[in-house]
């Protein structure tokens, strides 16, 4: 049993961050316009905004999972608050996508996978731990 | 594995290209964001009275704004692209009004997504923009009431998903008699131009 748990933990640690189709679709619909393809804050709308859009590589260095989730759910400045519209798994997708994109286009150091912040973003199965439900039916009312 | 990454990269690049190249005539046309300001059109369209609910949950009647110049923008709070620009422009207009002008000018932000935008959600949205509620109301209502308002202003609304709506990007300026005199179509209406038009309407007899 202990070996199985250890293997499971190691799997989560080594697996690293990956995106799913749901995450990609969510990002394209709700985030890409401002945050850009790679989360560098250079989306097609960014230049028109009255504020600068953060680079996710800086965001993950300065904010915890909880802080990033709070910005996504409650909004900040002109960034929309997504909590009223999205289900918790969708919010979680957004939180994780910040980490996934922050790792794109650069080679990861081995220790980064074991960094608590990275682990909290990528390897903790939050939906399982917190018992999130799947998004409700999105059909037109 | 590399093939899948390449496919994802191509899909993202394609989405970005599609967003930039959308037709300007369509609602939420992000292509026109690249241009500074929004196309301004002179109009003469009488807006009949309508009743909605404001950000405090109180009943709101458009009739109460007669003898005031009204700037109305159509937005929804979870809009990921153009609505923040429209609201930010309206905020600049509000800031640019002199104290004596504030009494004669009222701003309206009318939601295009009543499914999400309750009075509480609208109030929270307004507070993020530091809107001064003394002459700015954020309006919602039931779908039939709002549909009538959208139609009166010529705003088309299409629900894409929960919290994702496509709509005509209109900011409208209405004179003291309740007639829509200027329409600013596009995503980033020029606040200085709007202030100039407001002052023109205020000084008109």
pLDDT tier for residue A138 given thresholds of 50, 70 and 90: very low
- Give phi and psi for B185, each to the nearest 5: -95, 135
| CA pair distance A72, A81, nearest whole angstrom | 6
Task: Check residue B143 and give its pLDDT.
Answer: 96
Residue A58 is assigned to a structural domain of this protein? yes
Interface residue A44 vs chain B (CB under 8 A): yes
Residues of A in contact with B88 (CB under 8 A): 49-50, 78
Q: How far is A136 from chain B (nearest CA, A)?
A: 10
Residue A4 is assigned to a structural domain of this protein? no
Q: Nearest residue of A to residue B22 by CA position?
A: A44
Determine how β-strand B51-53 pairs with β-strand B59-61: antiparallel
**Model pTM score:** 0.79
Q: Are A15 and A121 in contact (CB under 8 A)?
A: no
CB-closest option in A44, A74, A82 to B30:
A44
Sheet holding B105-111, edge to edge: B40-46, B179-185, B170-174, B69-75, B105-111, B136-139
Residues 6+ apart with CB under 8 A from B112: B74, B75, B76, B146, B150, B155, B157, B165, B167
Crossing angle (nearest 10°) for helices A21-30 and B2-21: 20
Residue A2 is assigned to a structural domain of this protein? no
Mean pLDDT along residues A95-123: 76
CATH number at residue A73: 1.10.760.10
Residues 6+ apart with CB under 8 A from B122: B55, B77, B109, B111, B138, B139, B140
Residues 6+ apart with CB under 8 A from B22: B28, B29, B30, B31
Task: Check residue B178 and give its pLDDT.
Answer: 96
Q: Are B107 and B93 in contact (CB under 8 A)?
A: yes
Q: Are B39 and B186 in contact (CB under 8 A)?
A: yes
Q: Radius of gyration of chain A from Cα atoms?
A: 16
Task: Check residue B27 and give its pLDDT.
Answer: 45
CB-closest option in B20, B128, B164 to A75:
B128
User: Which residues on adjacent β-strands are paired with residue B166?
Assistant: B158
Residues of B in contact with A140 (CB under 8 A): 159
Question: 92-131 in B: which are within 8 Å (CB) of A?
Answer: 115-118, 121, 124-125, 128-129
Q: Are B181 and B43 in contact (CB under 8 A)?
A: yes
Residue A137 is assigned to a structural domain of this protein? no
CB-closest option in A74, A78, A85 to B84:
A78
Instruction: Specify the number of domains making up chain A.
Output: 1
CA B111 to centroid of chain Cα atoms? 8
The overall average pLDDT reported for chain A is 80
Interface residue B18 vs chain A (CB under 8 A): no
Task: Check residue B62 and give its pLDDT.
Answer: 97
Task: Check residue A102 and give its pLDDT.
Answer: 86
Expressed in angstroms, the distance from the first to the final Cα of chain B is 70
Interface residue A24 vs chain B (CB under 8 A): yes
- HEC assignment per residue over A26-78: HHHHHCHHHHCCCCCCCCCCHHHCCCCCCCHHHHHHHCCHHHHHHHHHHCECC
Contact B187 A48 (CB under 8 A): yes
Residue A95 is assigned to a structural domain of this protein? yes
pLDDT of chain B, 205 residues: tens digit per residue: 455 665 665 555 554 444 443 333 334 543 333 344 558 999 999 999 999 999 999 999 999 999 999 999 999 999 998 999 999 999 999 999 999 999 999 999 999 999 999 999 999 999 999 999 999 999 999 999 999 999 999 999 999 999 999 999 999 999 999 999 999 998 888 999 999 999 999 998 6
For residue A82, the enclosing domain spans 17-130
| Secondary-structure breakdown of chain A: helix, strand, coil percentages, each rounded to the nearest 5 | 55, 0, 40
Q: Does the pLDDT value for residue A41 go beyond 90?
A: yes
Task: Check residue A15 and give its pLDDT.
Answer: 56
User: What value of ipTM does the predicted structure carry?
Assistant: 0.76
Task: Check residue B22 and give its pLDDT.
Answer: 39
Any idea which of A35-49, A94-108, B9-23, B49-63 has the lowest mean pLDDT? B9-23
Residue A107 is assigned to a structural domain of this protein? yes
Q: Which domains does chain B show, CATH number per domain?
A: 35-203 (3.40.30.10)
Strands (E) across B37-176 are located at 40-46, 51-53, 59-61, 69-75, 105-111, 136-139, 157-161, 164-167, 170-174
Q: How far is B162 from chain A (nearest CA, A)?
A: 6
Residue A105 is assigned to a structural domain of this protein? yes
Residue A9 is assigned to a structural domain of this protein? no
DSSP-derived letter for residue B79 is -
- Higher pLDDT residue, B204 or A76? A76
Interface residue B138 vs chain A (CB under 8 A): no
| CA pair distance B181, B183, nearest whole angstrom | 7
Task: Check residue B152 and give its pLDDT.
Answer: 97
| CA pair distance B166, B126, nearest whole angstrom | 21
Task: Check residue A8 and give its pLDDT.
Answer: 60
């Amino acid at each position: 049993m202990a070996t199985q748990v250890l293997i499971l933990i190691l799997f989560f640690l080594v697996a690293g961050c990956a995106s799913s189709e749901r995450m990609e679709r969510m990002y394209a619909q709700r985030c890409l316009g401002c945050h850009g393809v790679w989360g560098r804050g250079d989306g097609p709308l960014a230049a028109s905004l009255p504020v600068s859009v953060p680079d996710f590589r800086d965001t993950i260095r300065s904010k915890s999972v909880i802080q990033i989730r709070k910005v996504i759910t409650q909004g900040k400045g002109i960034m929309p608050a997504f909590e009223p519209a999205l289900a918790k798994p969708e919010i979680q997708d957004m939180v994780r996508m910040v980490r996934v994109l922050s790792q794109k286009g650069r080679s990861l150091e081995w220790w980064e996978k074991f960094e608590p912040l990275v682990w909290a973003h990528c390897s903790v199965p939050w939906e399982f731990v917190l018992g999130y439900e799947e998004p409700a039916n999105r059909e037109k009312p | 594995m590399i093939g899948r990454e390449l496919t994802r990269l191509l899909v993202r690049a394609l989405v970005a290209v599609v967003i930039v190249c959308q037709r300007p005539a369509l609602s939420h046309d992000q292509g026109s964001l690249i241009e500074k300001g929004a196309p301004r059109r002179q109009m003469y369209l009488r807006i009949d009275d309508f009743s909605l609910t404001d950000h405090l949950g109180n009943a709101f009647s458009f009739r109460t704004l007669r003898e005031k110049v009204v700037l109305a923008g159509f937005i929804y709070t979870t809009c990921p692209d153009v609505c923040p620009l429209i609201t930010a422009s309206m905020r600049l207009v509000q800031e640019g009004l002199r104290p004596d002008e504030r009494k004669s000018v009222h701003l309206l932000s009318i939601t295009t997504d009543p499914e999400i935008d309750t009075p509480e959600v609208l109030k929270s949205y307004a507070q993020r923009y530091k809107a001064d509620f003394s002459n700015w109301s954020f309006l919602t209502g039931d779908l039939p009431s709002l549909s009538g308002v959208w139609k009166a202003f010529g705003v088309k609304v299409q629900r894409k998903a929960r919290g994702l709506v496509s709509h005509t990007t209109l900011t409208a300026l209405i004179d003291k008699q309740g007639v829509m005199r200027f329409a600013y179509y596009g995503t980033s209406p020029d606040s200085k131009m709007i202030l100039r038009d407001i002052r023109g309407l205020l000084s008109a007899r």
